[in-house]
Amino acid sequence: MVKKIVALFLTALMLMSAVVSCGGENKETETIQQPETVVEENQKPASETSEPEVITSEEQPPDETISEPLTVMFTDSLGREVEVPSNITRVALSGPLTQIVLFALCPDKLVGLAADWDESAEEFLDAKYYNLPFLGQLYGGKGTLNLETIAAAGAEVIIDIGEQKTGMAADLDTLQAQLGIPTVHIDAYTNGMGEAYRKLGELLNMEAEAETLAAYCEHVYSRTLEIVAQVGEANKADILYCAGDAGINVIAKGSYHAEIIDLLANNLAVVENPSSKGTGNEVDLEQIMLWDPEIILFAPESIYSTLDPAGDWSSITAISNGAYYEVPYGPYNWMGFPPSVQRYLGMIWLAKLLYPDIAQFDVFEEVSDYFELFYHASITREQYDRLTANSLGAG
């Protein structure tokens, strides 16, 4: 009995041991399946992912694009504040004086001409500048400024250049209101032509081009002042500028048209009311005899070529000594009719004519430089000699 019990006990013990053994094997061989992580080809592992990029204020794009203003405020020589386009490409002229000044600076911006070119200009200027519309002029002449043509030409600004006139600010304000086109005035006097060009350079956004012309004008003017200083006031030549069909219209001392004469010489034409017109003041031959100039300058198309030196003028010192000359012309009167920037040609010519020992420069070379800068053209020696044939300008 005892043996049976022992046998049963041993059998039970063996069975329990077998069960425990099988449970251990299964636990050791079981594999825990982790979820598969799919990584894209270009995706960095989480451990390699960098922090979000921080853009500094300097690197951040602006919220708005900064653009040039369409218009700017411009203060003209009259002190008027005028709103003008910031980039002017089409310019209308108020008159011939303005035409000469602006042709030097911006010929391709001009929408028309204030006056027809003289025939003498054809051999120098590009033909495209002859076919521009006729605009007329605001002051001088018949005052026939063609408003319809200016408006139709798409002018963005109307420019007046020259001396200030009574009531000019009101005139320009009225014109501006009529056309809805900004209208400005720029002072232009012989001693301030450099500043006039700089002012125009500011208006037209052409500072570099304007500075070249300004520097030229200031060089010629300062050199002329040096010549005058060497001559001395007491030694200036006594001269008259005579114009008109009979030669008895004089350009009076102190007038706008006489600036070059007054600078370089003793202008004998002293009258009570100097004319502001290019025709000057009419006097008589007796008055010219009383003034008795030692040198006479005759305007182009006056009486230089028809004057009889043995006739009525023979008692005048300038005539009896053969010291009378015709002012060079081409494309304009070099002494300034109209009184524009070509007066610097007159300054060069007259200084050499009156004071050749002091004015130590070659007039032809000086004139060549002027033509290149202000007419965008070259001039040959033959052309120069023809323009100055009656002026003793050669040399």
pTM value? 0.80
Position 30 scores a pLDDT of 39
Give the count of domains, the chain: 2
**What pLDDT score was predicted for residue 2?**
39
One domain, residues 248 and 282: yes
Q: Which helix H or strand E contains 365, and what residues bound it?
A: helix 363-374
Q: Select from 218, 252, 273 the last residue of a domain.
A: 218
* Closest among 332, 373, 336, 366 to 349, alpha carbons compared: 366
Give the per-residue pLDDT at 120.
Answer: 84
CATH number of the structural domain spanning residue 150: 3.40.50.1980
Q: Are residues 85 and 174 in the same domain?
A: yes
* 13 inside domain: no
186 and 236 in one domain? no
Q: Which domain-ending residue is among 158, 183, 218?
A: 218
Does residue 24 lie within any of the structural domains?
no
Question: Residues of the chain with pLDDT > 70: what percent?
Answer: 82
Indicate whether 4 belongs to any domain. no
* Alpha-carbon distances of 137 from 76, 113, 144, 165, 340, rounded to whole Å: 19, 9, 5, 15, 15
Contacts of 373 (CB under 8 A, 6+ apart): 104, 212, 213, 216
Give the number of other Cβ atoms within 10 Å of residue 123's Cβ.
Answer: 13
Residue 197 CB contacts under 8 Å (≥ 6 apart), including other chains:
101, 105, 210, 211, 213, 214, 217
Q: Is residue 95 located within the same domain as residue 212?
A: yes
Q: What is the pLDDT of residues 215-228, one digit of tens each?
A: 999 999 999 999 99
- Bridge partners of 296, per DSSP, are 240, 324
139 and 274 together in one domain: no
**207-231 and 96-105 helices cross at what angle (nearest 10)?**
110
- Assess whether 249 and 358 both reside in one domain: yes
Q: Do the domain assignments include residue 61? A: no
Same domain, 200 and 301: no
Same structural domain, 206 and 236:
no
CA–CA separation, 97 and 230 (whole Å): 32
Segments forming the whole domain that contains residue 373: 232-387
Is residue 330 located within the same domain as residue 382? Answer: yes
Q: Each residue of 264-279: pLDDT tens digit?
A: 999 999 999 999 888 9
- State which residues of the chain have pLDDT below 70: 1-66, 141-143, 393-395
Instruction: Give me 354's structure tokens.
Output: 């009156």
Query: Does 241 share its domain with 371?
Result: yes
Task: Output the pLDDT for position 66.
Answer: 65
Same domain, 157 and 248: no
Cis peptide before 356 (omega within 30 of 0): no
